[in-house]
Structure 1
Amino acid sequence: MSELLQLVASVGIGGLVAYCVWHTLLFIKPFLSFLFPHYYPVLYDVSSIEPQPPPPRSVIEETCRKEFTKFKVNGTKWDVIIVGSGISALTSGVLLSRAGKKVLVLEQAPEAGGCLRTFHLDGYEFQVGCHVLGLTGPCEGVNSFDLLNQATGGAMAFEKQDPEFEQILIRHKDESKTKLYTQRFGSQAVWEESMIAQFPKEADTIRKFTQACSEAYKSTYIVFVVKYLPFWLVRLVLKIGFIRKLFEYEKWQNLNTRDYLNSLSDNSDLKKFMACPAGYIVPDPEGSNMIVTGFIPKFLINGVFYPLGGPAKMAYHLVKQIQRMGGEVLVNANVAAILLDKDKTRAYAVAVESENEGSLVIEAPIIISSAGIWNTFERLIPREVSMQFPIIAEALRVAPPLAPCAPLIAWVGLKGTTEELGIKQASVWHLRGEGDFFQEYKSYLEMTREQVLEMEEVPFEWTLIQFMSARESDYNVRNPGKSVCMIAGFIKWDWFAEWDNMNLNERGEKYEKLKQTLGARLIHNWLLQFPHLKDKIDLINFSSPVSFTNWLRRYHGKLMGFDMNASRFTLEVLSAMRPSTGIEGLYMTGQEVTTGGVTNSCAAGFMTVGEILGRNLLLELLAMNWNKPNRDFHIL
């Protein structure tokens, strides 16, 4: 109140009115951007564009592996520098290039694309990320394919997957009780009835659960409200509590999944069946709430899809567009720092370190980081400097604590095609343990490394199995007579923490023994379900959490930036994780601006560019889709 009185005293009533009107217009303007033509039409109708056939691997590598050199960056006046090259970074680059900006994307890895990349081991092609796509999106009228078709210029086609896409194997000590359950997608009714058919005595419970998932999912539209409101305003309305009463979001956000499922049923298998698929984004089920639990089935409910040609094709078309419009995407370019002016208020350059080229400072008036909040505000900019800015300070203050778990992944190469091996597109969750799923997992993560190594068989396993090669109709065209499987197990980060930031050749025998022991258990459990594949194994390779720390620059080996647990989805955290940073010329994009997954990361690119251009690109895309319910999404 005192600040308001001081403002009135200094500018008078008329000045205060003018001040309020001006800032109201500044706030409203982006939301009205879809009403006005723009000199640079960032979005355009891609429905009439024919998707392009998947390019050969050699063409993808030539495009996405352009080496950083001083010659390629010196002498060019860059408008935008983007740190990182995941889908949010590349989407930002494409949209800003269409707006007439000269864009430079810098990637520390040998290939651009982030988790869109594929990699090869002994002749086998594996996908890192982008495992599935759904028909939902950030708002009604804008779905995954609207975003991805815009970003790739309509170059992609997508293959519809088997409706029985989720399988959950619940294994008991008494093998006669072990059972494989299936979730079938296509519509709300299809999903609901598929569960009731397997648990007929729990029909009322299942209907309550599916209704809760729908209501929880619908309540998430408040997320975009708190991200688009000016930071000072959203802090005020959250403090007053007005906006909380307009939405039911916090009702579901505060509802722990375990507590809710326990209130519905005593059936242990049913509760595991309902909770398990949230593991796509939640590594800690005990920290899960109904916002998260409802997200995965609602994301897939209208069908499951996969990019034709694999996720690397998306990276290729994103990079190609930036290059075509005069920009560059360069790899092996390690951004060591984001540089601020002498007053520490404006970002003006990045410092790059290259093994072959040495050090170089590159200037641009706009810098976008997709490196994540900790990398950006603790490594690229010193924390003591970052904490001087209210938005960043709040983001670091409310950042959720890291869950104790991390992934260990087995990459398996198999001799034989999809048809010859009899493998399917479905994701298979393998759960082994008795009783309360949440408590079992917590107890497992409380074990020491020594305890785990001494046990011949641990009492609990939670594993995700995906035959990625089965999801592409042309995988065996590129890789004749071969198939691949990814097996992801959830383990404790502390078991591997001592080797953090070490190169593979520095980790030693102790590390290798731990990785091989835990990895062998993944393979053992996998073969319990797929014994016919034992003689078809041609390759096994394991990636530990520290591999992801080094490869993707993830804290504690996380595949995503923040853990997608309950504390991640409070309105306070969501409002602080936004494109603007408070530092002039510096913006954020990526999973932490929205949430995990390829669709949300792509949406983060739209939000970041909208912030830079003073436009609301999601509303512009919604307006473009108006009266086009049957638009072509290039689905095969």
Structure 2
Amino acid sequence: MMLITLILGLFAAAVAVAAVGAVLFMRQLRSRPPRPTSDSASAFNSASASASASAAAEALYTDPDARAKDEALIRQPFAEFAKSSDSQQFDAICIGSGMGGLTTASYLARAGKRVLVLEQHDVAGGCTHVYEDKGFEFDTGLHYIGEMADGPRRSTTRQMFDTISDGKLQWATMGNVYDRFILSKDAFATKQNNKVAADTIPTTGTSTATSTPTSDQSNGSKPFQFEERFDFVADRQNLRAALVKRYPNDEAAIDKYFRAVRGATNEIGPFVLTKLLPEWALMLLTLIFPKAGFASRDDIYSQRTTASVLAEIFPRNVEIRHLLTYIWGDYGTPPSESPFAIHAVVAAHYFRGAFYPVGGSSELAKTIVAALEKRGSKVLVRAPVESILLDASGTRAVGVRMAKGQELFAPLIISAAGAMNTYTKLIPVEHRAVISKQLGELQSGKRVATSTGHVYAFIGLDASPQELGFTAANYWVSPQLDHDAAYSEFIKNPKNPFAGVFISFPSAKDPTWNVRFPSKAVALVVTPAPFEWFEAYQSERVKHRGDEYQNLKQELGDRMMDAFYHFFPQAKEHVQYVDFATPVTNNHYLGATRGESYGLDFRTGRFDTRGAASWLTPKTPISGLYLSGQDAFINGVVGAMMGGFICACAISPKIAWDNLYLFNKGK
């Protein structure tokens, strides 16, 4: 009887801890600000937001000394600090200063722990950092964030950002239209240096999807035309109305789609439990609640592909399936391979509109690092970690060894460098027996693998965003409606048409831009591309990778510029700066392993508790070592932040309890 009581007590404690995490994330997914009551309200009080942002710009960005101080905060070098006696006085060491690492460090610091964050790059922030060159500032990974509306009932996501930044991080709405999908043949047929002929651009893929309606596609609307645009607008009801207007005979199916999205997001709660509960507790919960999703089943949304779920919802309308999945570029896995759950989470994230940090994406690191420093923690750059130090038994993490040989010790080690780096590079070879399961899964690539990389074009112009006609809305441009076909055809050969391009205007999103960079603008063009095209050049030094690499990068870049000029011909005479980057650039600056943009990819296996989800958790098999960031939860800036929070909760359940009050406001 005593044994049974003990087991039940342990189980109850484990469930209580994990339930806190589940409550937080269920609230996050369900939380919504008050519904706007008019078109003017649907812009989330953009006029007042812009006015306050302008005032903030005057206060924060016209003082060169204040700007320099903020910049210095996220560029503190490790070399000087390593000489001090303070270098060994930390409760935790975090490898990586992306959103995952900074979030875990922030919650640990708020719980009274002193954390040392080590960043291999020369600036903190990971994918949220910016770089400035020849007077132009470019973001590198944060393009927009959802659920950031002001008000008395802020979302859990907003409250979490407020918490880790001490309320200093401000957000500007992107307005009514956050994403614009465009089907364009001409954008990919124009050319500068490349020789791709217009008649080689496919208008249909190899699957059942086409750019024109099939004989059974009786949706009451004309086929989606080349150069036609569809705007994804803020507020779910407004988006629903726009979809019904475009496809009037599919109104019931469109409502079914929104219900499916809600159902899929509700599965995230049990998924959070898989990150916090031991396997025995999950097995017991599965026996007690077989339909709750604590263990994977083939019929739940996280185990069904996006394409298959949409085919069930829209059996006769192939076109709308492809329109709704334009957003696959936000998580990098095409509809035939991605779980519907990840599509649903990302799509729902923007149902209330999109936002951009006031002052640019580097404000995330600046405000969070300032909050960490106030609590006695430290964030240092140019601090590459060579390996994680383990005790003699090889079962407990005790510190890190730097690339130059220095050894730092702490009772807690957090890796926010990604699962691939953590398990295949940072754990010493002689101690890898304990992580054999993780290594086997990662190296086989059958259920999880690195996500796609991207090619980037960074464009600087000598006119303001307003003069150039740039707006905050992102452009998603595709040569055909079938995203799977477009992607599979492109990755076969870099001379084939792009799978699509994403065009973004950071200078039009940030209300402080014109104060900070008068009479200038920037644009960003991105397209997915496989690492294999560039793998042969990864060992070469940056800017010295040889003519073959430069020619390939230039050809792809020129074609991206063609797509940009197709929509913004007025910008051509104002271009003063162009730079291209590839997946190997990610390896150098962001510490990626194969140029990946989103950590591990998002196939259904990523969420399968019978597979990857059983071991891809914050708590590793090595005592004292924890995993944070995208790979600890899901993709993106917010996914990394949530992964960082879950990691902190796994380290100290009290953190979840202490922060529960924050999430009770988001209903």
Q: TM-score range by the shorter chain?
A: 0.7 to 0.9
Q: Take 2:276 and 2:444, find their aligned partners in 1: how far apart are those partners?
A: 19
Q: Which sits farther off after the overlay, 608-617 or 506-515?
A: 608-617
- 1:373 matched to 2:360? The reply is no
Show the counterpart of 2:511: 473
Letter in 1 for 2:472: Q
How far off is 1:251 after superposition?
A: 2.3
Show the counterpart of 2:582: 544
CA gap of 1:281–1:72, structure 2 versus 1, over 3 A, is: farther
CA gap of 1:436–1:281, structure 2 versus 1, over 3 A, is: closer
Show the counterpart of 1:507: 545
Letter in 1 for 2:428: P
**Aligned residue runs from structure 1 range 445-524, under 5 A:** 445-447=491-493, 452=495, 458-524=496-562
CA gap of 1:493–1:199, structure 2 versus 1, over 3 A, is: same
* Partner residue of 1:64 out of 40, 61, 74: 74
3-state DSSP of counterpart to 2:511: coil
Show the counterpart of 1:255: 304
List gaps (5 residues or longer) in structure 1.
1-12, 35-49, 453-457, 630-636
How far off is 1:293 after superposition?
A: 2.2
List gaps (5 residues or longer) in structure 2.
22-51, 187-202, 204-210, 212-223
- 1:147 matched to 2:160? The reply is yes
Letter in 1 for 2:590: L
Letter in 1 for 2:74: C
Show the counterpart of 1:24: 11
Letter in 1 for 2:178: F
Q: Take 1:376 and 1:492, find their aligned partners in 2: how far apart are those partners?
A: 22
* Partner residue of 1:179 out of 199, 203, 227: 227
How far off is 1:60 after superposition?
A: 2.4
Show the counterpart of 1:586: 625
Q: Take 1:211 and 1:528, find their aligned partners in 2: how far apart are those partners?
A: 37
Q: Take 2:317 and 2:11, find their aligned partners in 1: how far apart are those partners?
A: 53
CA-to-aligned-CA distance 1:419-468 (integer Å, 9 cap, x gap): 111111111111013x6432232132223x5xx2xxxxx34541111111
How far off is 1:501 after superposition?
A: 3.5
CA gap of 1:328–1:220, structure 2 versus 1, over 3 A, is: closer
Show the counterpart of 2:461: 414
Q: Which sits farther off after the overlay, 96-105 or 386-395?
A: 386-395
Q: Take 2:451 and 2:640, find their aligned partners in 1: how far apart are those partners?
A: 24
3-state DSSP of counterpart to 2:163: helix
CA gap of 1:259–1:417, structure 2 versus 1, over 3 A, is: same
Letter in 1 for 2:415: S
Show the counterpart of 1:270: 320
Q: Which sits farther off after the overlay, 64-73 or 519-528?
A: 64-73
* Partner residue of 2:99 out of 81, 87, 92: 87
Q: Take 2:262 and 2:465, find their aligned partners in 1: how far apart are those partners?
A: 35
CA-to-aligned-CA distance 1:159-180 (integer Å, 9 cap, x gap): 1111211111102479993133
Q: Take 1:266 and 1:527, find their aligned partners in 2: how far apart are those partners?
A: 36
CA contact (8 A) 1:282 1:565 kept: no
CA contact (8 A) 2:451 2:598 kept: no
Q: Take 1:398 and 1:570, find their aligned partners in 2: how far apart are those partners?
A: 16
- 1:212 matched to 2:225? The reply is no
CA gap of 1:247–1:75, structure 2 versus 1, over 3 A, is: closer
Show the counterpart of 2:135: 123
Show the counterpart of 2:640: 601
* Partner residue of 1:614 out of 631, 634, 653: 653
CA gap of 1:378–1:384, structure 2 versus 1, over 3 A, is: farther
Q: Take 2:366 and 2:547, find their aligned partners in 1: how far apart are those partners?
A: 38
CA gap of 1:505–1:183, structure 2 versus 1, over 3 A, is: closer
CA-to-aligned-CA distance 1:476-510 (integer Å, 9 cap, x gap): 11111111111001223221111123322442000
Show the counterpart of 2:34: none
CA contact (8 A) 1:110 1:332 kept: yes
Show the counterpart of 1:104: 116
How far off is 1:600 after superposition?
A: 2.0
CA gap of 1:28–1:391, structure 2 versus 1, over 3 A, is: farther
3-state DSSP of counterpart to 2:434: coil
3-state DSSP of counterpart to 2:589: helix
3-state DSSP of counterpart to 1:420: helix
Show the counterpart of 2:406: 360
3-state DSSP of counterpart to 1:287: coil
Show the counterpart of 2:147: 135
Q: Which sits farther off after the overlay, 388-397 or 180-189?
A: 388-397
Q: TM-score, normalised by structure 1?
A: 0.85
Q: Take 1:329 and 1:310, find their aligned partners in 2: how far apart are those partners?
A: 20
Q: TM-score, normalised by structure 2?
A: 0.81
Q: Take 1:339 and 1:504, find their aligned partners in 2: how far apart are those partners?
A: 30
Letter in 2 for 1:582: P
CA contact (8 A) 2:233 2:353 kept: yes
- 1:293 matched to 2:331? The reply is no
* Partner residue of 2:281 out of 233, 238, 245: 233
CA-to-aligned-CA distance 1:64-104 (integer Å, 9 cap, x gap): 11111222465642211111111221122222222222221
Show the counterpart of 1:306: 356
Show the counterpart of 1:426: 473
3-state DSSP of counterpart to 1:120: strand
Q: Which sits farther off after the overlay, 105-114 or 402-411?
A: 402-411
Q: Which sits farther off after the overlay, 620-629 or 55-64?
A: 620-629
CA contact (8 A) 1:335 1:352 kept: yes
Letter in 1 for 2:557: G
CA gap of 1:503–1:317, structure 2 versus 1, over 3 A, is: same
Show the counterpart of 1:337: 387
Show the counterpart of 1:556: 594
CA contact (8 A) 2:460 2:522 kept: yes
CA gap of 1:324–1:624, structure 2 versus 1, over 3 A, is: closer
CA-to-aligned-CA distance 1:569-621 (integer Å, 9 cap, x gap): 2233234222111212111111111111222212222222222223252x543
How far off is 1:283 after superposition?
A: 3.8
* Partner residue of 1:162 out of 164, 172, 175: 175
CA gap of 1:338–1:235, structure 2 versus 1, over 3 A, is: farther
CA gap of 1:431–1:73, structure 2 versus 1, over 3 A, is: farther
How far off is 1:308 after superposition?
A: 1.0
3-state DSSP of counterpart to 2:376: coil
Q: Take 2:579 and 2:13, find their aligned partners in 1: how far apart are those partners?
A: 54
- 1:531 matched to 2:569? The reply is yes
Identity of aligned residues (%): 25
Q: Take 2:529 and 2:282, find their aligned partners in 1: how far apart are those partners?
A: 38
CA contact (8 A) 2:267 2:293 kept: no
3-state DSSP of counterpart to 1:560: coil
Q: Which sits farther off after the overlay, 168-177 or 98-107?
A: 168-177
CA gap of 1:172–1:29, structure 2 versus 1, over 3 A, is: closer
Q: Take 1:111 and 1:93, find their aligned partners in 2: how far apart are those partners?
A: 17
CA contact (8 A) 2:296 2:608 kept: no
